[in-house]
Every structure is written in structure tokens, then in C-alpha cells.
Amino acid sequence: MSDIADRVKKIVVDHLGVDEDKVSETASFIDDLGADSLDTVELVMAFEEEFGIEIPDDAAETIQSFGDAVKFITEAS
């Protein structure tokens, strides 16, 4: 797994309080990992912080899963 994926996974685990092995490529934050809409806003803020990038609101809405997040951040950074 890439360095980006590791760092994204750590944020997801810390913020949502889920086991690391549940955070699979296709795991949806809301449907699979117990997040609500406010949690996803906070996750995006944490990604911005960790990777020093800005994720516009329309892009943030497309980040629904762990895989989406890794893909977006890899392309953005």
C-alpha cells in the first residue's frame, strides 16, 4: 500500500473509531464505516490538513469511500 493510502487509513481509523481491516478499498464512509454527513466533512478537513491540499466542496462530495479519498489525494498532490 502506498504511503498516501497508509496516511489516509490512519485518519479514517482515528476519526471514525473503526478497525483498520474494515477500511477496504471500496469501504463507504457512510454505508460501511458508520460515518454521518458531519463526519465526512471532518474527514475531508483532516485530509486537507494532512496533505496540505485544498479539497473544494464539489470535489469533497465525490469522496465517498476510502478508495475515492486515496485516488483524489494521489492526483491532487
Partner 1 sequence: MRRVVVTGLGMVSPLASGVEETWKRLLAGENAAGTITRFDAEKFATNYACEIPFGDGSDGTFNPDDWMEPKERRKVDDFILYGLAAASMAVEDSGWKPSSEDEFYRTGVMIGSGVGGLSTIADTSITLKERGPRRVSPFFIPSCLINLVSGQVAIRHGFKGPNHAVATACSTGAHAIGDAARLIQYGDADVMLAGGAENPICEIGVAGFNACKALSTSKRDDPKAASRPYDKNRDGFVMGEGAGVVVLEEYEHAVARGAKIYAEVLGYGLSGDAYHITAPASDGDGGYRAMKAAVERAGIDAGEVDYINAHGTSTMADTIELAAVERLLGDKAEHATMSSTKSAIGHLLGAAGAVEAIFSILAIRDQVAPPTLNLHDPVDAKLDLAPLKAVKREINVAVCNSFGFGGTNASLVLGKVR
Binds partner 1 (CB under 8 A): choice among 48, 67, 68, 76: 48
Binding mask 6-45 for partner 1 (x = CB under 8 A): --------xxxx--------------------x--xx--x
Number of residues that bind partner 1 (CB under 8 A): 11
Cα–Cα dist 71/77, whole Å: 10
| Residue 58 falls in the annotated catalytic set | no
Q: 72: closest CA among 38, 51, 49?
A: 51
Catalytic annotation, residues: 36
